[in-house]
């Protein structure tokens, strides 16, 4: 179970701009079936690190072929760029420390500061990141 947290806890003027960003009053189980949990949301926000839930069928980056409306990169800039300028300062990375395939849903690690991004990439390159996938068959 992933609990939604208020986005950009460090920025009191930060207001959600997209559907799915408001923090509910209770915990919600993340659903990975198409049609449910369609918008990303912040799961963790502390110390220059965000963990964002990526719904299935959302791309990680924006390209000519992939619309901005369903890219995590676009969503980060549009929803949180006013609180975390680093997310829009580097248009190629947008703070994305890791990526998930389009069909895959789950947590994504995002750095909100350049020094955090560099350090997390060093840790990732040194093999300190671990990912485990669970496949649900219906």
Span 98-107, pLDDT tens digits: 888 888 889 9
Distance, CA of 20 to CA of 112 (rounded, Å) = 20
CA distances from 37 to 3, 54, 82, 86 (A): 13, 9, 24, 26
- The answer to whether 8 and 82 have CB atoms below 8 angstroms apart is no
Q: pLDDT above 90 covers what percent of the chain?
A: 32
Per-residue pLDDT tens digits for 66-122: 666 778 888 999 899 999 999 988 777 889 988 888 888 899 999 999 999 999 999
**pTM, full prediction:** 0.70
> Is the pLDDT assigned to residue 24 strictly greater than 90?
no
For residues 118 and 113, what is the distance between their CA atoms, to the nearest angstrom? 9
């Amino acid at each position: 179970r992933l609990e939604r947290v208020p986005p950009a806890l460090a920025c009191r003027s930060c207001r959600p701009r997209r559907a799915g960003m408001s923090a509910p009053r209770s915990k919600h189980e993340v659903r990975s079936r198409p049609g449910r949990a369609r918008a990303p949301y912040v799961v963790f926000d502390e110390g220059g690190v965000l963990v964002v839930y990526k719904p299935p069928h959302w791309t990680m980056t924006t390209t000519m072929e992939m619309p901005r409306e369903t890219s995590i990169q676009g969503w980060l800039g549009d929803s949180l760029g006013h609180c975390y300028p680093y997310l829009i300062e580097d248009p190629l990375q947008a703070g994305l420390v890791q990526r998930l395939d389009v069909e895959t849903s789950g947590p994504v690690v995002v750095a909100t500061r350049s020094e955090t991004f560099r350090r997390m990439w060093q840790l990732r390159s040194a093999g300190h990141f671990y990912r485990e996938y669970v496949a649900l068959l219906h």
